[in-house]
A and B are shown apart, each in its own frame.
Chain A
């Protein structure tokens, strides 16, 4: 089964190789992601995030899910010395970076708890795979139709932060300015919640974020720096290394 739907402003591709229950579980995945968009989008005035951002919902009136998301945001804000910050001055509350990874990870868990063993879920470039082998390419920062790395994964999550799709959208909360020290930064982790948040937070840190991401437990990192220099952690699971 293979399906693509557009949710939260990006394409979500779901491939399920198990022969049973694929369509129903696929329906549940897309229904969950649409519900998350309605609840957590900062672009919808009546979402829980927007209402909290405007002060209409106090911290103790929030859903357990949003409390969980904001806890993750706060943990990474502290861990990056404020470089990663979902409450930037002059902007509304925008926890999108964490909501995306967390909600897609929860969607993958829906598939696993339905008994599905081999699937690949790609939400606008954030990937969760189960029951490998899966070959996951990392987009080349300069060429949309080329890759700069190929990974060989079994059960894992991959997230990439970069500027080539949506411009300078990641702000260093310490300076308030867009980050320019890194062209592309990919993190492989056990869950997409970790991979996506670590990739975004590391990108916000700039060049020093590469070492920071590599030091996060269970995270492997691949970074393209300006000038075409690549830095990767020794355990980054490239397909070539796995074959050697």
Chain B
């Protein structure tokens, strides 16, 4: 959590310019006008030709997510997170690794995985002993 907080703060800081961004076509007022979105997806078109689309609320295991996108023609001019989980999605793609100390074991095993064994190295290897026992 200690490491996640600065990342969350930075992510939010990075979003502020996006939220504050006002397209030059003057559609900012339209965006603000739909700041209380309905529960289902909706669209409203402003006089300037820009369109504000409000997505449906999507339930995720971290919480509800709802996004509002402002289009000017085919171009996205603003994206707002109307609802977002109070949970930082920072390192989901990288599983946490467990740190341990190296041990040297002996055990009854069926086979050995190791760096590519040369045919010369094989003679002295554990795998050769296993093969000899099974033959």
Contacts and interface: CB of A to CB of B under 8 A. Distances in A.
Contact of B98 (A120, A129, A166, A231): A231
Which interface class (under 10, 10 to 19, 20 to 34, 35 or more) fits A? 35 or more
A134 interface: yes
B107 interface: yes
Given A138-B114, A231-B98, A147 B119 contact: no
B50 to A, nearest CB: 38
Contacts, number: 166
Contacts of B6: none
A88 B127 CA distance: 32
Contact of A233 (B98, B101, B119): B98
B10 interface: no
B93 interface: yes
Interface string B87-120: 0000001111111111111111111111111110
B118 A166 contact: yes
B97 A229 contact: no
B134 interface: yes
A164 B115 contact: yes
Given A6-B119, A9-B118, A139-B114, A122 B97 contact: no
Interface of A: 2, 4, 6, 9-11, 13, 15, 100, 120, 122, 124-127, 129, 134-140, 142-151, 158-166, 184, 186, 210-211, 214-215, 221, 224, 228-235, 239
9 contacts: A10-B122, A150-B107, A160-B115, A166-B116, A211-B97, A232-B98, A232-B100, A234-B96, A235-B95
Interface of B: 93-119, 121-122, 124-128, 130-131, 134-135
